[in-house]
Structure formats: structure tokens, C-alpha cells
Structure 1
């Protein structure tokens, strides 16, 4: 889950995620051949089995569907000289379609599993960013989804009780304490249970738009525009690109401001920055939905200190920073608002900053 810093990762900017306590597990057994066999175990006990495939035969686009994610990992590892066969069984409780990086959780779990099956030790903190990049490559080049590095890096590198301050360009990462309990606060996650059909195409359109804007401005990435240089940059851009640039530049600044407040142990005052982030995504990046806007607006009016949509947009989840003693009231208000609007009831839970991916050999 990203506390703040949306659509900045593929613009070489800053992000501030934390890992959730939900887990996806990939059980693995080595094979004597070079086949990859993948199955999923559903919450109803049903097993869904993909057709075993020769690792040497893997290529982008085949297989497709859900099996593309673990197959993409095997494909990326093959290029690293790791091509041993394995049987995988995958199960977990990470919500899918909620904008909470379920695909990254899958990719990172499978990467650790296949590395383990090939005899590699559990990676240390220095190896983990490299593994995150392998998982990202699987999603970008094999599955064909143009995500940035945020999701996989968070899944691999987050530490319990902290948010991960990541400079995507340099790869520099810092664990920033995020002690919500001591501050008397909680992060309420509001999964709208809505995923709009144009989410992937809309994400790609915006990424291409920011890349085009950077090219027109003669810079490597929008990260290179300082806040004070934004007004001049906007005057040189076409009308359709200027709002995208304004969001990325101001969002990077908001990430830095939130980090400053957290280091001052002032969590409560990040609320207005969360609000500003949502407004920017709604009005400039145009990736919000009626359900997300209703969740955010209702949470604020019911006592949240700040709220924003999180993730790629076009559905998924919002987060709200709420005083612990107000959480129940905020939850009731959001549920009632969705009922009154005729929307599907949202899924609500507390976002607890947790440890990222690990290996269990017991």
C-alpha cells in the first residue's frame, strides 16, 4: 500500500509505501526436469492447475491469464541463468483487484520460491532491490503491464512499523518510523470492490503522456522539474499534458513533505497532504471514480484527518488517516454512504505497516 506518491515511480520520483499484513504464499518443490508447474489453491479448497510448460519455451504472451505472472518470473530468472524446474502451489489472502499490489505479492513470492528451489539462500537487504526489479520486469515485459517499481520494491523491502522512503531514480531507500499506535491513529483501508475495465489502458495512457511531456521538455523524466520550475514548464506543454505534469511534480513534493513530518514524529499533520494528493489525482491525473471520491469525502466528513485514493486508479482502494477512537464512526459513515448511493458495500480493514516478503523453510 502506498501512503503517498502515486504515479511518480515511472517518472523517476519518490514513493512512500508500506507492506500490509496480508500474505500470499508460494509453496515450492524442485523438479528433476525443466518444467514449471503452477497451481492455485482457492479459499474454497479448489485447485486451479495451469498446463505445465517448459521453461526454455517461455516467451512474453505465453502463457496468458493468471499463469503469466509466475511464468513471467521464471522467464526473468531464466535470463539470470536460473532455469531449474519446479512445482508451485499458490494461496493467500491478498485482496485482488483492490489496488493493493496483489500481482506484485505474487511475483515476489514466486521469485523467492524459485530461487530457493534452485538452492539460493534467502536474499539479504542488499539483494532485495535487485529481486524486486526482476519481478517488475516479469510484469512489464512478460505480462505486458507497464507498472513502475513501487509495488515490487515495497513487497520485497518493507520493514514492520515503517514506511519505505524510496528514491526510484537512485534506488536509495530509507526506513522511516510510522508508529500509528503511539500517535493514537490508524490507517483505514476502504476497498471499493470496483475495478473499471479501462484501468490498464488508462494507466498506460498516462504513463505515455508523462514520457511525451518529458521528451517535449528535453528532460530525462518529470522528476527533473523542481516545484519552482513548474509554472514555466506548464506554459510550454499542450493542454492535455500539463495536468499530468502538475500532478507528478506536486506529488513528489508532497512525498518529501510527508517524510519531513514523519521524521518529526508528527503523523497527524500529514492529513492535508493526503487530501491534496487525492484532489490532484482526481482533477489533474483524472484516475479517480465516483466510488473512490465518495469514500474519501465521507471519511473526511466523518472525522478522518485526511484521505486519498491509493494505487493505479480507476477503482480499487482509498485510505483514510483516522483517530483510533473515530474509526468505527468513519466505517459506519462510509458503509451508509455506499448503501445510499446504491454502490456495492466496501471492504474495510486496518492497514498495519508490516514486514515484506520472506522465506519459511519449516
Structure 2
């Protein structure tokens, strides 16, 4: 996050064109300049494919971007990152961007435990199914500000003209919010056990067929997790040699806010247990189908709350005339 003193340093904007602002000469924020000066420099870097940068700073004397190449900045834990290139040569369509390797989705809820049925013909009731647990909310991945330094820009080895520059994309959008996790399913209710068998006496029924056990109730389903909001984009600060700003402005820039995630799906209801049948008849004891156990209860269907996460805020790309590259390189 830019503090008050840094905002003062970067506030000399004189013109705003969509999301691009062209500014007067200004000093680099001291913490950015100090880390750039102390960072190791790569003399020559040719990117043919994807080049991932795990640190917060990429500092290169001469960098060539081949057709369809990408430089991907993976650092997300600091409040700013920087790409500093003394001479940038573009050979074809290429991209500077931030890592796509994140997962902000909430975890799914846990299913409820199933109910249990007695293995004996003892007329016991089935146990109830357990409730599912809610899905986790989608998470939010914040992003750092971006400081880009370029002294010279070439297209296929010669000074780039404004018409060459759309081949370069500088894409540092906010991330989409994570999706909410799916709610856990309710556990199935256990079936009721069969009733105890009838006992017949010499002349009559000593003990009629036993009642079947009631089925266990179905477990309730859980709600899905809420979606994460879209991440706010952060400004891209372009420090460019004064004679190359007009060309560099014609590259393609994007730092839009992220889209919100999706609401997690609620879990499914458990299935209620079936009532156990009456016990078997025997001799003088007549069958008693009316002694069947009651089927378990199924609760109402789970409904997610009405919740819409907001989109992230878009940011700006701001240019500064900068001619003190020897301090960095």
C-alpha cells in the first residue's frame, strides 16, 4: 500500500487518458530505489517461452522477448514488485504479468456421518444421519503495486516506434475472488431393524410379532461458502527515459479489478432411513404388518443465502520521466 509520503512523490499527474496518466519528472520512492540498487543484475536475458521470477525484483541489463514469450512475476507477499530493464528488445508479441498459480477457492464442507442400522432383528431404531458442514468462503488474494523501469525499447533490434509497441502487453490485473466451497451432504438415516419374531404358545400366541424399529432421520445439508470479492488492482508505475515515453505509452496495459467468485453449491439432503418390518409370525401368532416401523423424516431442502460479492476496483497506469538509470544499473 502506498503511504502518504509515497503518494506525495507520485502525485504530479498532469493528464489522464482512460487509465493512463502522464506525469512530470519525479523521484523514485526511496525504498524502491534502495532495493533496486542493491538487487543483483542479470547482464543478458533472452526469454523464449515462459520465464518465472520468484523474487520481488527482476533487474536486467539487456532483455530480449521472443515471439509469444512471457515474464511472470510470482511474488505476492510484498506491497510492491519491480521490473527494471536497461534495454528491452521485443521480437514479437510478448507479455509482462503476474502469476496465475493461485487457488482462492474455499474448501468443500464435510458430509454428515450416515446413520446405523442394528444387525439384529431386535426392533431397534436406526440412528439419525449427521448434518453436513458448510463450505468455506472463497478467499481473496491481494496484489502488489508494480514499478517498471525501461531506458531503451527496441523492436527487432532497432528503436521501437509507437506503432510497434502494441506487441508488448503489460498485464497486472486483480485476481478473481475465490469460489465458495460446496456444502456438505446430510448423512443418510439408518434403517430401522426388523421386529422380534413372534412366540407361539401351545394354545395361543404367547408374544406377537415385535414392532419394527423406526428409520433414522436424514441429516440436514449445509450451505455453500460465500464467494470472495474481486481483488482491487494496483497502479502500474512506468519510469521511462524521457525520449521513449511516447513510444512506451502505446504498449497495451491492463490493471482491471478482479471479478467476484461464485457462491458454493449447497449440499444434498440425506436419505431418511426406512422403518423396519414387523417381526415374523409363528404358529398361533398372526402376521402384524401394522407394526412396521415409521420411516425417518427428511428435512427441507437447504437454500443458500442471497449474497453477491463485489468486483475489485480498477487502477491506473502512470508514466514518469526518469533519466537516472545509471543509479540503478
Normalising by structure 1, we get a TM-score of 0.20
Compare CA radii of gyration and give the structure with the larger one: 2
Q: Output the TM-score relative to the length of structure 2.
A: 0.21
Tell me: higher relative CO, structure 1 or 2? Use CA pairs within 8 A at least 6 residues apart. 1
Structure with greater proportional helix content: 1
Structure in which a larger fraction of residues adopt strand:
2
